[in-house]
Chains A and B, each alone.
Chain A
Amino acid sequence: MEPLSPQMRDALKRANPGVTDRDIDRSEEILAQLQDLDPGEEPELSAKLAREFGRIVKSRMPRYLEVTQAIAKAERFEALARVRSVPRIVRKPEA
């Protein structure tokens, strides 16, 4: 799993006053564990981890979803604005 971007971490802190790096790190631990589970296997553990993630988000980062959407939107905007290199064109003089 891609490490949490610094923009996302900062935005989570700004949008959820009081949230700490430790809260965010704990949520990351849970997400990483969820990612490591085989799909469909260990459904009880998966549900337990999902519940724990939900608990942290609800109590410490209630605007988590809003922040992820805003970051996604910003990333989308940035990606679409990228400039590509331009070819150099030389017309040959007529013989």
Chain B
Amino acid sequence: MEQTSGIVQRLNLAANAVCVWIGPDPSNVEIFVLEFRPGDGAHALDSKKSLVNLLVKARGAGYEIGISHAPNESMINSISLSGFDISPVGFAIRNDFYSITGSGIPQDAEFVFENDTTVVSIAPDMVRPHWAFLSELPAAVPLRRVNVSLQGSGYASDAVPIDVFARPPERVRVLYPGAPKGDAYTLAFVANPMLEVEEGGHFIADPILADRTGFHEVVTHALTNLLTEAEDLLRQDNMDVHMRFVAVFDDVLADSNDSNALVKLVPPNLIGPRQNKFRTYMARYDEVADVAFAISASSTHTRASARNTQDAGDPNTAFTYDGDNHVHGHFAEVPGACTLSRFGSRGGLTPLHEFGHMASDLENGRVTDLYVDGNPGGFQVNKKFRANSGDAVPNNFGDYDGTDFLSDQNRDSLGYPATWTSYHAVPIDPHRPNLMDDYWRAATNIRACRLDRITYELFSDRLRAKVFR
């Protein structure tokens, strides 16, 4: 058998045969035939129908195929699709998010869009080895058929033919598909439709729905925070390869104001998540989020806040903390929820800090704020209390799954106020405030702040239990 490869330039469907013209361009082709014979059995017929289906799709998409045939014969024996080493995610729509997945993508990779007349190159807004992400597909990218590839130092991906559209962006956009299964650990970013006012019971429109660009900017900032800063909680061992990221921006409001309000304005300037509304809201789009960021453009209330996940009991992974039995639930009964302001500072770690709260479980180990002394009660992973503020900070902070972890004697670089009874676990980076503390007070490079050691270990196991469920 011989193999002839090329683009499907033309396809002719007749009553009992399919003719296909293969070649690099319409003037340089070879013709092949797939014949349906009266004697074809059911199996042969199904097989030939599949080949025709593949030819039609390859013709539509502009993908190169290989046809196997006898030497100097035009009858098709089999057809193969060579495939690509990158995979565009979803439709390419100007001004919408755009992602390409692959492997070994270098940090300096650029998106390259090319047609017969133009080459448009643009640096991604975020790069992981398996994911290049654009906040908005530029209007400069030519419409209709183009080839897209990723190119960086010593790296050039295959060029994949795609169609570029100028139409309204998608309401629900998968930014990264994660593990190929129906229940991949999912982080959602949602444009909040309505705000519940401070007094409660009344609702106003959230201006974010009139600011799609602002929504994209916050999502991009959050992704950069979660996946590229010094704190590698989500990306350790490339765990984020298995996580699914999705964005929802729906300016067509259905149902009641109450069900559309994911954010409540809280005095003096807080945006609080209305946590019990998230699951139902996401279900409209057939999405089940483990944790969700609601993005608001309130002009008066801009301070982010979060509420912990409430896990379903089973299935779960057991662990011990200070000798007590607990579990990491594999699924959320109530998803963790937090808010982010469209106008929040981009210089800090707010998305990662709020993820720390919302992705931890209310009953089986809350990760709490360390910049206040107060005791929110319940089982806290990262904060303990002395009987009196004058008491020495104990040497050992806690025991997680049989391993002892030390206390932070000095509250990293900040020092414990004399009146505090609370104390923390030893930080990963002893020179900067804990990610859950007042990271704004880091002497240098705020975004290099990290968690403490015991929280990192417990949280890592918790994420693994969920990601590999």
Contact = CB atoms under 8 A, between A and B. Distances in A.
Interface in A35-83: 35-36, 39, 50, 53, 57, 64-65, 68-69, 71-73, 75-76, 78-79, 82
Interface of chain A: mostly helix, strand, loop or mixed = helix
A33 interface: yes
Interface in B254-275: 264, 266-270, 272, 274
Interface in B357-409: 368-369, 371-374, 376-377
Contact of B300 (A31, A69, A88): A69
B345 A5 contact: yes
A34 B438 CA distance: 18
Contact of A33 (B116, B214, B354, B376): B376
A88 B121 contact: yes
A36 B383 CA distance: 14
A64 B118 contact: no
A5 B123 contact: no
A27 B368 CA distance: 17
A45 to B, nearest CB: 11
A1 B343 contact: no
B305 A1 contact: yes
B319 interface: no
Contacts of A4: 438, 440
Contacts of B141: 87
Task: Please indicate which of the listed interface residues B122, B268, B345, B377 has the most CB atoms of chain A within 10 Å of its own CB.
Answer: B268
A72 B300 contact: yes
Contacts of B346: 79, 82
Contacts of A53: 267-268
Contacts of A39: 264, 272, 274
Contacts of A25: 372, 417
B440 A3 contact: yes
Contacts of B303: 1-2
A85 B122 contact: yes
A34 B341 CA distance: 20
B338 to A, nearest CB: 9
A29 B354 contact: no
Contacts of B118: 89-92
Contact of A5 (B117, B270, B417, B440): B440
Given A3-B437, A75-B345, 4 more contacts: A3-B369, A3-B439, A82-B346, A89-B119
Interface of A: 1-6, 25, 28-29, 31-36, 39, 50, 53, 57, 64-65, 68-69, 71-73, 75-76, 78-79, 82, 84-85, 87-92
Interface of B: 116-123, 125, 135-136, 138, 140-141, 214, 217, 264, 266-270, 272, 274, 299-306, 341-346, 348, 350, 353-354, 368-369, 371-374, 376-377, 417, 437-441
